[in-house]
Structure formats: C-alpha cells, structure tokens
Amino acid sequence: MNTLVKHPLSAACASVLLSATLMAGHVQAEEATEANPLQFYTGDNGSYAKVTLEADLGFFTQGDSWFGAPTDSDSWWESLIRPGLDVSYTLPSSQKIYGVIDAVQANTFGGIDAGLTNANYGDVNDLRVEKAYAGWRSGNLFSSLGEDFLDISFGRQRYIVGDGFLFSSEGGAGRNRGAYWIGGRNSAEYAGIVRMKSGNWSGDLVYFEADDIDETDTQVGGVNLEYAVEKVANIGGGFYSISSDIDERDSMKVYDIRGGVYPFALAEGLPALKPLKINAEYVHETADGDYDNGNAWYIAPSYQFETTPWQPTITYRYASFDENYDYLFYGSSDWGNWYQGEILGEYALGNSNLDSHMIKLKIQPIEPVAVNLIYYKFMLNDAAVAGATSDDYADEYNLIVDWTVNPHLSISVVGAIADPDDAAVELNGSDDTWSYMMLFGCIKF
C-alpha cells in the first residue's frame, strides 16, 4: 500500500490510529444482531431505550495533490464523535412510536484537507445536533396490507432514494463544520417522510429543507414508488419539485427512473448466468426560465462468481452527467457510489459535466476482510464549458481493504493514484501523478 504514495503513512501514525480505535471500543455493523450493551431499557413487548455512540478517526496523506499544482494540502487528520439516544415504544396492534436524537462533534486538524475546504479555517472543531426526529409505524393496524404498512416520521433526518444517485445526503461537511471526508452531516434541516409498503410495492411522500453548507434554502417535495421481486427485478420512479435561492435550481422539476434486473433469473438451464445483474438510472431535470434542462444516467452490469473462492464480484459502469445537470444531494452507499474515486470523486470532481467508466472487482479472501480494486476513466462531458480543449481528464486507480474486526470495530485502508490526461493538465497547469492514502477506524454502538 505504501508504494502507492510519495508520503507513506508512518508507523507512528498507524500505531496512534489503531490504538485509538481499539481502546475506544467496537464498531457496530448496522445489521449486528447481538444486544447493544448501551441499551438501558427493554420492555416485554419490544420497547427499548438505548444510548448510541460512534467514534471515527482517519489519517490522510497525499503526494502531488491537484496533479502538482501549488496547494497547502499534504496530510491531515479527521475525527468524529456521535453520542445519541434511540427509543421505541410498542402500542396495541404492534404499533410503534420511536425517536432518535444525536449530536456530532467533528474535527479537522493537522493540515488542510485535499478539497481545501478548511484552507480559510485551519483546524476546525464543530459541535451540532445531527439527527432529531420522531415517528410512528402502523404495525398490524392495517393487517390486510401487511405489517408496518405505514411509517410516518418528521424532524432532522436523512432521505435516501435507491443507491444515492439522486438523494442521499441533505446535509454537508467540511469548511467550518469539519471532517470533510468522514462527513457525518447527512440530515436535512427538516424532513417529513411518509413511507408505505405492501407486498412487493413500496413508496414514499417527502418534503425536506436541505441543511447544505452553502445555506441555499433548497426545499424539495415529491413522491417515489417502487416495485421489487427479490433476485428477479426492481423498478422505481420519482417526481420532485424544488424551490431554492439558487436561480438555476429554483422551480426545477426532477424526474427519476431506476431499476435493476437479473435477466436470466427465470431462465431454465442457464444457472451460470443467473448471478448477472444490470442496474440503471436516469434523471431528467427541467429548469425554469432561460436555464437549460439537465440529464444524468448510468448503466452498470455486474456478475458475482458465487461458487468461486473469495466470491469475486465484477462490475462495469458507465455514467454520464451533462453540463447542465444539478447533482443535488447525492451520497455514498458503497465504494464508488456516488463519490467516483477516492481522489477525484471525493475532492476534485462533482457529478456534473462528467462522463466516467468504472471497472470494479470486489473479493473476500477471508470472512472479515473485503478488498475492492477500482479503475476509473474520467472525461468531461463538454470540454468547452469547463474551459478545456480536450475531453480526457484523468485515470484513477483505487485499492481499498475493509476489515470488520468484530461486530463493533472496523478498519479501512485506502490507496489511490490519479494520472492526469490532457484536460486535467490544461485546467490545473501541471501533470504530476496525484497519490493518496487513508487509514480509517470506526467504532459504533
């Protein structure tokens, strides 16, 4: 891993990070089934009250950032502590009322991050409430429609659609909020969400006010509908209306259609092709007045070798975002979705005026360890709009190792390099290879 960067992670830094994460406790995987040791109340009917706690620490180092252009970014640290409270009380007919509140203490220190977000702030320490919402689930109240047919929630919460291509993070991190890469600021200032699910159908009605760091007073209202048959297909679509202080975004209408299909799921005699899956999504934005409409889409076939050692999964994806596309509030659901590249997608390129090819290989050599190898080819959708004469921007290579030490502790190591093509050289004025490494530990109860 160290050979990927010109400023390798020192043994001292690794020791500090690993010691901090191990002493702090354990990280909880979201699906962990063991009892939470911080749960202080358990009712006979499934009611509970528990303290939640997350602690993250990351060290980042890089060489020739921005392809060698002069910057003050070399290495830096980020940390986050998130204490909270999660309660649920069961009513007759298995109805539930629930609530979550937590606060985030986020820090950037020891240097300027690669996105230069704290260049004007230096070391940043920021504490603020992140989640604060309450809700009600219908349980068996509408038994003919299925358990928890209706779920209504309101407050500071996160709204996610699909894999985060359109909506996943309505908050913002970095700058004076700190912890740009770790984030931890995903909740809207306010969101009211009505979720419905019956059989293979599900949907939601939503209204949210974004808590973006630019304070654009962006408000979104809309509807989403999905139909899914496990291991066969899923399809979804949504419509949203937006108001905002950003002129190009104000009065915008957004149409979203997405889906995934196993094309050979029902085919007899072709067992080797059954793991093949194709995911795709298309978003169309209609702007108001003199502004042009925007479009974005991707298609991603993938195949998992289910009976092969290490269970490799290979994915190819082509994604396109035209020069008028407003990327709104996309976020991360996995490595590469939708921060495309641990260098360029995190720090240099947003999902607008961009086309990309991605090839991703994921393997699991042993049960607690997953390895991702990812290649990206980045191109400008419209070079002239960006101020370049060439479409070819850069090639990026990522190596990511995730180690789930136990249900409460995880550690990730990332190494990456980005080689500039003609457009990156034109726009940055330099042609060095950008190298990057990160060591990250997470504890979560």
C-alpha to C-alpha distances, 89 to 41, 168, 236, nearest whole angstrom: 11, 28, 32
Specify the length of the chain in residues. 445
Among candidate residues 341, 360, 358, 337, the one with its CA nearest the CA of residue 349: 341
Give start and end residues of each alpha helix (H) in 335-431. 383-386, 422-428
Residue 53 three-state SS: strand
C-alpha to C-alpha distances, 441 to 14, 111, 114, 193, 349, nearest whole angstrom: 10, 19, 19, 32, 25
- Tokens in use for 336? 């590469």
pTM for this entry: 0.89
Q: Which domains does the chain have, with CATH numbers?
A: 2-444 (2.40.160.100)
Q: How many CB atoms lie within 10 A of CB 214?
A: 11
- Tokens in use for 346? 């995190």
- Tokens in use for 96? 């539930």
Per-residue tens of pLDDT for the chain, all 445 residues: 233 333 333 333 333 333 333 333 333 333 333 557 789 999 888 999 999 999 999 999 999 999 999 998 999 999 999 999 999 999 999 999 999 999 999 999 999 999 999 999 999 999 999 999 999 999 999 999 999 999 999 999 999 999 999 999 999 999 999 999 999 999 999 999 999 999 999 999 999 999 999 999 999 999 999 999 998 999 999 999 999 999 999 999 999 999 999 999 988 888 899 999 999 999 999 988 889 999 999 999 999 998 889 999 999 999 999 999 999 999 998 999 999 999 999 999 999 999 999 999 999 999 999 999 999 999 999 999 999 999 999 999 999 999 999 999 999 999 999 999 999 999 999 999 999 999 999 999 9
- Tokens in use for 26? 């354990």
Instruction: Determine contact, residues 75/60, Cβ cutoff 8 Å.
Output: yes
Among candidate residues 55, 65, 20, the one with its CA nearest the CA of residue 436: 65
